[in-house]
C-alpha cells in the first residue's frame, strides 16, 4: 500500500520506499534456513537445564519436523528424516542412529498416507502426528532397550500425552515461522 | 493442505528421474541409519565423540540458563525463609541441642575407628574428590537417564568415577569431553549400585526404574526385609562407590524388595562432586591381571 504524502514518518529502510511492491522474490536463504534451523534448534532443546527424573520433555525436534511435513507437504524432501534424525541423536541420549532410522520411517509413512488421503484437515493431521509420536517413542524405548537395560514402557505415558497435547502449539509456531519465511 | 502434485511430474524425464532419486536416497538413508544403529547397539561407547561435541557446543547456553534457574530458585528459597522464621528458629534450636550429644559420640567413634584402622593397617582412600561442578542438563526426552556435568577431563574427570551431591549419590561418569562430562544417573535402568541398609548393613542391589525411583533388591532371597522409611546407603562393594554415601529412602515395600526414592535430586542439587573410584588402585591391579574383567568394565 502506498503511503499518502501527508503522512509524516521516518522510513526505517529508505531504499524500500522506491522498490516495487509486487512480484518480489523471497530470500532463498530465509526460505531454506528457517525450516532446517527450526528443526535442529528444537532438537537441541534437551540441552537446556531441564533436570527431570523421568522422560517428560516431548521430542520437540520430531514435533517440529512433523509440523513442517504435514503443514507444507513437498517442502522437505522424503529423505530429510535421516539427516534431521542423526542430528537429534547427538543430543537426545538415545543410541546413535535411532532417530535417523525412526524419523525416516515416519517420513516415508506420511508419504504413503499422502498418496491415500490427499485432502486433510488439521484434526486428521493431529491424529496422524499422534499415532507417529506414540510409535516413535515406543520404538525409541525398544531400541534403547536393545543397547542398554530398558525401563518399563509405562514411564513413557506422561511424555506421550504431553507430546500429543503440545503438537498444535508446535504447528502454530511452525505456521508463524512459515509466514515469516515467505514474507518479502 | 493438499500436497503439490509432484507425484506425477508429467512427461519430463528429468523430473521423473529426480522424483525416483529422492525415493532411492530416502530408502538408502534409512538403511544407513539402521546400520549406524546396529553399530551403536553393538558398541554403545562408539559415537561418544559426536555426543561429546554436541554437549560441548550447547554447554555455554546450558550454563547460562542453569545459572539463571539457580538464581531464581535461591531467591525463592530466601524469600520463603522469612515466613515462619521464628517457629523455625525455635525448632532448630531444640534440634541442635538434641544433636550435640550425638555429635560428641560420633567424634569418639571416629577416633576409635581411626585407631582400629591403624591397627589393621588399612589404607584410607575415602573423601578423595576430583572436582566440583554443576549438572547443567539431562536427556529429558529420552528413556535413558543421562545428565551433563559442567566440568570435564580438563578438570581431571575420568570415566567410571562416582558423582555425588550434598544429599547423596547422583551417578557415575560414562563419557568425558574437555569441559563437559556425561553422567549415568542412579535412576537409569542400566545403573546397578551395590547398597546396604544403613541401620544393620543388610546387603542389597539397587536398579533404576527410569521414572525417578529405584528398586532395592536384597542379596538373600525370601520375604522383603525392608520397611517404609529405611535409609539405604552405598556399601562400597565392587570398589567403585565409596561406602556410606547416602543413597535412597524406602517408600514402599514390594514382594522381593523395596521401592525407594534417591535422596539426591539432580534438579535441586546445588553442586555435584566427582570423586575418585573407591579402591581404584586395587581395581586397576585386578584388571591388569584379568583382561576379561577389563572388557566388562568398558562395556557400559
- A43 CB near a chain B CB, below 8 Å? no
Lowest average pLDDT, out of A4-18, B61-75, B126-140, goes to A4-18
DSSP assignment of A85-110 equals: HHHHHHHH-SPTTHHHHHHHHHHHHH
Instruction: In whole angstroms, give the CA distance from residue B31 to residue B109.
Output: 64
Report the DSSP pairing between strands B192-197 and B231-234. antiparallel
Residue owning grid cell 503522512: A7
Shared domain check, B188 and B70: yes
How many Cα atoms are found within 13 Å in the side-chain-facing hemisphere of A9? 9
Give the ipTM of the model, two decimals please.
0.81
How many separate domains does chain A show? 1
Does any domain span residue B102?
A: yes
Please check whether residue A7 lies inside any domain of the structure.
no
Query: How distant, in Å, are the alpha carbons of A4, A10, A11 from that of A7?
Result: 6, 10, 11
Whether residue B70 is found in the same domain as residue B95: no
Interface contact B30-A55, CB threshold 8 A = no
Which chain A residue shows the shortest CA-CA distance from B175?
A93
Q: Is pLDDT at A129 greater than 90 in this prediction? A: yes
A59-83 mean pLDDT = 93
B167/B271 same-domain check: yes
Residue of B nearest to A141 (CA): B143
Do B30 and A49 count as a contact with CB atoms less than 8 A apart?
no
**Which pLDDT tens digit goes with each residue over B195-221?**
999 888 889 999 998 888 999 999 887
pTM, two decimal places: 0.81
In a domain, B1, yes or no: no
Structural domain range at position A51:
26-182
Contacts of A83 in chain B (CB under 8 A): 29
| Closest in A54, A82, A114 to B30, CB measured | A82
Q: How many domains does chain B have?
A: 3
Is residue B6 one of the residues assigned to a domain?
no
β-strand pairing of B272-275 with B129-133 = antiparallel
Q: Could you tell me if A3 lies within 8 Å of chain B, comparing CB atoms?
A: no
What range defines the domain where residue B161 resides? 52-83+128-278
Residues A46, A91 contacting (CB under 8 angstroms): yes
- Find out whether B193 and B217 touch, Cβ atoms under 8 Å: no
Phi then psi for residue A3, to 5 deg, are -75, 140
Q: B154 and B139 in one domain?
A: yes
CATH number at residue B75: 2.40.10.340
Q: Which of A50, A108, A144 sits opposite B138 (nearest CB)?
A: A50
**More confident: B293 or B236:** B236
> For position B159, what pLDDT does the model report?
85
Q: Are residues B78 and B135 in the same domain?
A: yes
Q: Check whether A60 has a pLDDT greater than 90.
A: yes
Q: In this structure, are B179 and B237 located in the same domain?
A: yes
Cβ of A114 within 8 Å of Cβ of B3? The answer is yes
For residue B163, pLDDT over 60 is answered with yes
Residues of chain B contacting residue A154, judged by C-beta atoms under 8 Å apart? 211
Provide CB contacts within 8 A for A3, sequence distance 6+. Answer: A9
Please judge whether B141 and A58 are an interchain contact, meaning their C-beta atoms are less than 8 angstroms apart: yes
- Look at residue B292 and tell me whether its pLDDT is greater than 50: no
Chain B residues close to A65, C-beta within 8 Å: none
Cβ contacts (< 8 Å) between A140 and chain B: which residues? Answer: 142-143
Q: Is A55 exposed, middle or buried (0-12, 13-18, 19+ CB in 10 A)?
A: buried
B206 and B63 both lie in a single domain: yes
Amino acid at each position: 500500500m502506498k503511503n499518502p504524502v501527508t503522512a509524516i514518518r521516518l522510513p526505517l529502510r529508505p531504499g524500500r520506499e522506491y522498490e516495487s511492491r509486487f512480484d518480489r522474490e523471497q530470500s532463498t536463504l530465509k526460505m531454506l534456513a528457517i525450516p532446517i534451523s527450526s528443526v535442529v534448534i528444537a532438537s537441541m532443546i534437551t540441552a537446556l537445564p531441564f533436570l527431570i527424573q523421568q522422560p517428560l520433555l516431548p521430542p520437540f525436534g520430531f514435533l517440529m519436523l512433523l509440523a513442517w511435513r504435514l503443514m507444507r507437504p513437498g517442502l522437505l524432501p522424503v529423505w530429510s528424516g535421516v539427516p534431521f534424525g542423526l542430528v537429534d541423536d547427538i543430543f537426545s541420549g538415545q543410541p546413535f542412529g535411532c532417530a535417523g532410522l525412526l524419523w525416516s520411517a515416519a517420513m516415508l509413512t506420511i508419504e504413503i498416507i499422502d498418496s491415500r488421503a490427499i485432502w486433510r484437515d488439521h484434526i486428521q493431521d493431529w491424529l496422524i502426528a499422534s499415532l507417529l509420536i506414540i510409535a516413535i517413542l515406543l520404538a525409541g524405548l525398544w531400541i534403547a532397550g536393545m543397547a542398554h537395560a530398558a525401563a518399563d514402557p509405562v514411564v513413557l505415558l506422561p511424555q506421550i500425552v504431553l507430546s500429543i497435547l503440545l503438537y498444535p502449539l508446535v504447528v502454530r509456531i511452525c505456521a508463524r515461522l512459515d509466514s515469516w519465511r515467505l514474507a518479502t | 493442505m493438499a500436497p503439490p502434485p509432484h507425484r506425477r511430474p508429467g512427461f519430463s524425464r528429468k523430473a521423473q528421474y529426480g522424483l525416483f532419486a529422492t525415493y532411492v536416497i530416502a530408502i538408502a538413508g534409512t538403511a544407513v541409519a539402521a546400520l549406524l544403529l546396529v553399530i551403536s547397539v553393538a558398541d554403545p561407547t562408539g559415537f561418544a565423540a559426536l555426543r561429546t561435541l554436541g554437549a560441548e557446543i550447547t554447554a555455554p547456553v546450558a550454563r547460562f540458563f542453569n545459572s539463571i534457574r539457580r538464581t531464581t530458585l535461591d531467591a525463592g528459597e530466601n524469600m520463603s525463609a522469612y515466613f515462619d522464621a521464628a517457629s523455625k528458629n525455635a525448632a532448630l534450636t531444640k534440634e541442635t541441642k538434641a544433636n550435640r550429644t550425638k555429635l560428641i559420640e560420633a567424634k569418639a567413634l571416629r577416633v576409635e575407628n581411626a585407631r582400629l584402622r591403624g591397627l589393621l593397617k588399612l589404607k584410607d582412600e575415602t573423601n578423595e574428590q576430583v572436582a566440583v561442578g554443576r549438572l547443567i542438563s539431562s536427556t529429558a526426552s529420552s528413556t535413558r537417564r543421562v545428565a551433563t556435568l559442567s566440568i570435564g577431563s580438563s578438570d581431571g574427570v575420568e570415566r567410571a568415577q562416582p558423582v555425588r551431591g550434598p544429599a547423596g549419590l547422583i551417578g557415575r561418569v560414562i563419557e568425558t569431553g574437555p569441559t563437559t562430562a556425561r553422567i549415568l544417573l542412579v535412576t537409569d535402568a542400566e545403573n546397578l549400585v551395590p547398597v546396604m541398609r544403613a541401620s544393620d548393613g543388610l546387603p542389597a542391589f539397587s536398579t533404576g526404574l527410569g521414572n525417578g525411583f529405584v528398586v532395592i533388591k536384597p542379596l538373600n532371597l525370601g520375604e522383603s526385609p525392608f520397611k517404609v522409611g529405611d535409609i539405604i546407603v552405598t556399601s562400597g562393594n565392587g570398589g567403585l562407590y565409596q561406602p556410606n554415601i547416602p543413597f535412597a529412602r524406602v517408600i514402599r515395600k514390594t514382594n522381593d524388595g523395596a521401592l525407594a526414592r534417591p535422596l539426591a535430586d539432580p534438579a535441586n542439587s546445588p553442586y555435584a562432586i566427582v570423586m575418585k573410584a573407591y579402591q581404584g588402585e586395587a581395581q586397576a591391579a585386578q584388571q591388569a591381571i584379568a583382561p576379561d574383567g577389563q572388557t566388562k568394565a568398558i562395556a557400559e
